[in-house]
Amino acid sequence: MAQGKGSGEGRIALVTGGGTGVGRGIAQALSAEGYSVVITGRRPDVLDAAAGEIGGRTGNIVRAVVCDVGDPDQVAALFAAVRAEFARLDLLVNNAGSNVPPVPLEEVTFEQWNGIVAANLTGAFLCTQHAFRMMKAQTPRGGRIINNGSISAQTPRPNSAPYTATKHAITGEVAAEPTISIEHIAEAVVYMASLPLSANVLTMTVMATRMPLVGRG
C-alpha cells in the first residue's frame, strides 16, 4: 500500500465522531492526504473497524481512541493520548454530534436534552480548549480547528429542540432537501486544512445545487 504524499504529510489530525458518516469520510480524506489521523467516538467496535479500513486503504497511521466528548475526564485522556504518541496536533475537526428522534419540545426528556448538549456543544468546547492549549505549546506553534456546523443555526427543522438549541436557532422551515456526497464535504475540509496558517477560509458552504436553503446540513 502506497504511503500518502499529499498536503497533510507529517501532520496530525483529530476527528471527533470519526467512526461513521461524515466524520469517517473526513478521516478517510485526511488520511489519503498523508495525515496521521486519530478518530474518536463512543463505540470501540465501530472505531476499530473504521481505523482498520481507512489505514488499510491509505497506508497511513489511523488511531481509534474511545471518548465521550461530553465528559471532561475522557477528553483530557484523549488529548493526553494524542500528545503521548504524536507530541503535537495540527488539526482538530469538531464533528461529533447527536440528535433525538423528532418529537415535540414537551416530550423531550431531561436526559435527552443533556445528552445532546453534551455531545454537540460541551464536546466542541472541551476539545477546542484542549486543542488551544496543545497548539499554543507545541513547536512549531499553531494549528487549525474546523467545526462542522449546520444551517439549523439559523433555520431549524421542526421537532428538533435540543439540536436547534445547540446551534443557537429559534425558527424552522419544512422543504424538500436534495443531498450531496460525503466526499464533497471531506474534500472541503482537506482544502481548508491544507492552507498555510497565514491564510484561512472564514466560511465555506458546500451544498446540493437545488437545496432550498443555503447550507442546510
Active-site residues, by number, are: 163
Tell me the three cell numbers of residue 40.
Answer: 474518536
Q: Is 38 helix (H, G, I), strand (E, B) or coil?
A: strand
Our measurement of the distance from residue 4's CA atom to the centroid of its chain's CA atoms, rounded to an integer in Å, reads 21
CA separation for the pair 216, 179 (Å, rounded):
9
CA separation for the pair 203, 140 (Å, rounded):
25
How many C-alpha atoms does 92 have within 13 Å on its Cβ side? 26
CA separation for the pair 51, 43 (Å, rounded):
12
How many C-alpha atoms does 19 have within 13 Å on its Cβ side? 16
For residue 110, what are the contacts with CB-CB under 8 A and spacing of at least 6?
none
CA separation for the pair 216, 153 (Å, rounded):
10
